Amino acid sequence: MVIWRFLLFCIVGIAVTACSMQAQNTPAELAQSPVDDWRAAIDAHVIEQMQQLGIPGAAVGIVRGDQVEYLQGYGIAGDDGRPVTPQTPFYIASLSKSVTAAAVIQLVEASKLELDAPVQRYLPWFRLADEEAAAQITVRHLLAQTSGFSELGGYERNLDDDMYDDALEQSVRAMHGAPLNAAPGVQFEYSNTNYDLLGLLVATVSSESYESYVQRHIFDLLDMDDAFTSLADAQGHGVSSGYYPYFGQVRSQDHAMFFGRATTPSAGLVASAEDLAHWLVAHLNGGRYADAQLISPQGMELLHTVAVSITEEVGYAMGWTTFPFTDALPADDVERSAPLALTHSGRWLGYAAQLLLVPEQELGVVLLLNLNDPAADSALSNIGWNVGLLALGLPAKQFPQHEDWVERNARLLMLAIVAIFTALNLWLLRPRARLVFIVAACLVQVVTVAYLVLIRLPEVKTTLPLLLRFEPDLGQITLVLIALAGWSVVRTGAALAQTIIARDRVALDAQ
């Protein structure tokens, strides 16, 4: 009876998830005419997208030149109903990389770091599996994401929840046996490891913790009053809750939120829309915000200069991805070349953040959301692109999705597989089930699970532990599939044993 109830739960879950996905994947009816009141247009667009995607709260900042032109909060910051304001802190995840990059350039300008110096000059104990390669990695390689560290390995670092003062150093020391995916300086591969290592360099040459350095030399300098270097500090100052569509139902993930100091430089900072607006003012004005000079104009130009090409048009600078923002030109403007844009996104359990800079048009955009759903990542990013277009007086547009069919429908697909596995295993309970069918059913389940865990998850740069942390419903479904496949193996083993015993008995009786 319990198994049948479980099967019914799976079927109901499929139906609920399908309905939820259908609602989330419905294209928005976007404006097709020039925008006169860009502020009202941004408000309308953000609210519409929040409703369609089930986003509880959002904050937007628009910077023009050296002025913060617009700040707005939308929706709620938690289950208690408190409203999101421009001062509400959000977890900004990988937006932290641009802060770490700026800290490095500050120290380069203070003659405490050299871009082309090997990491081992500052960390003589730094070792990897390939000691020769480790000796070749430079500060510039780390900034440009060309050190050879793996993307997946960088994400796996997010599971480190060490909160001790030496967490960052110990995590880097633990890499002494880590392999590289490529020789240093050969190719681009995005990896959190690069920026965590940069954070350790900042701490080492400044003789203070990474957190202390960033607070004193960046946050305090730019009046980023609602920015924090740890989630624990932010929780005492009204940080927004993070939400995730758990089995299609948007729920707060405060109970599952995690944080570790080993990954603060790459993904651990917290800030509000107003704070990040100040940050973008400095980036649009040669490193200057109000009376404060973050870094020199030359240093800021270096941060924005393409260091490595990712594709023919897309590049990576230092903590920023660069691309020609073709959509930022009016449709009838065919003579001008597209302005170069710089962007970065941040994703964490319950949070999605995005920064956009278009220096040629003196525009900066901040978008903070307190929901993250990897199945709808394109839709979340598209809000940021469209906020930028609307701020330029251009109509919003429908951008293409980059997720494949499996990614968009993962919950539905995996619940369907659970239902199939459950039905197969119920059928295997029949006392007279033929051995050939028992073996076939077992093989179907084992091969499916092996493909999912050993091939599909690595393809999308994740693992089962990462899935359980960042996509908990998918991780839990995967565990159920593993358990069902394991039960089928046990059942098959029992059937084989019974068959062998029966044959032995027949042979003995024949004698």
Instruction: Provide the residue ranges of all domains of the chain, joining segments of one domain with +.
Output: 2-19+406-510, 31-395
pLDDT, tens digit (0-9, with 9 covering 90-100), for 480-491: 999 999 999 999
Weakest mean pLDDT among 44-48, 133-137, 276-280, 505-509 = 505-509
β-strand partners of 323: 341
Q: What is the pLDDT of residue 24?
A: 40
> Which CATH superfamily groups domain 31-395?
DD-peptidase/beta-lactamase superfamily (3.40.710.10)
Is the pLDDT reported for residue 425 higher than 70?
yes
Q: How far apart are CA 62 and CA 43, in angstroms?
A: 12
At 266-302, the pLDDT tens digits run: 999 999 999 999 999 999 999 999 999 999 999 999 9
Whether the per-residue pLDDT at 6 is higher than 90: the answer is no
pLDDT at 19 over 60: no
pLDDT for residue 504: 61
Confidence of residue 155 (pLDDT cuts 50, 70, 90): very high
Please tell me the predicted confidence (pLDDT) of residue 406.
Answer: 86
What's the confidence (pLDDT) of residue 303? 98
Q: What is the mean pLDDT of residues 388-407?
A: 92
Q: Which pTM was predicted?
A: 0.91
Q: Could you give the CA distance from residue 54 to residue 273 in angstroms, rounded to a whole number?
A: 20
Q: Which residue has the higher pLDDT, 18 or 248?
A: 248
**3-state DSSP assignment of residue 271:** strand
If you average pLDDT over residues 68-82, what whole number do you get? Answer: 98
Q: What pLDDT score does 14 carry?
A: 46
Instruction: Give the residue, 332 or 169, on which the prediction is more confident.
Output: 169
Angle at Cα 111 formed by Cα 267 and Cα 266, nearest 5°?
A: 5
Binned at pLDDT 50, 70 and 90, residue 147 comes out as: very high
**What's the confidence (pLDDT) of residue 34?**
54
Which letter, b or e, does each residue of 103-119 get, where b requires 16 or more Cβ atoms within 10 Å of its Cβ?
A: bbbbbbeeebbebeebb
What would the pLDDT profile of 405-418 be if each residue is shown by its tens digit?
888 999 999 999 99
What is the rounded CA–CA span in Å between residue 279 and residue 346?
15
**What local confidence, expressed as pLDDT, does residue 508 receive?**
67
Taking all residues of the chain, what is their mean pLDDT, rounded to a whole number?
Answer: 91
Strand pairing partners for 472? Answer: none
* Residues in CB range of 212: below 8 A, 6 or more apart: none
Bigger pLDDT: 93 vs 436: 93
Stretch 47-61: mean pLDDT? 98
Q: With bands split at pLDDT 50, 70 and 90, how would you rate the model's confidence at 335?
A: confident
* Angle CA 147–149–150, to nearest 5: 140
* Residues above pLDDT 90, as percent of the chain: 81
> What is the greatest pairwise CA distance in the chain?
101
Per-residue pLDDT at 29:
39
- pLDDT score at 23: 40
Distance in angstroms (rounded) separating the CA atoms of residues 399 and 408: 15
Predicted pLDDT of residue 302: 97
Say what the pLDDT of residue 503 is: 74
* Least confident window among 140-149, 169-178, 401-410, 458-467: 401-410
What are the backbone dihedrals phi and psi of residue 362, each rounded to the nearest 5 degrees, phi first? 55, 40
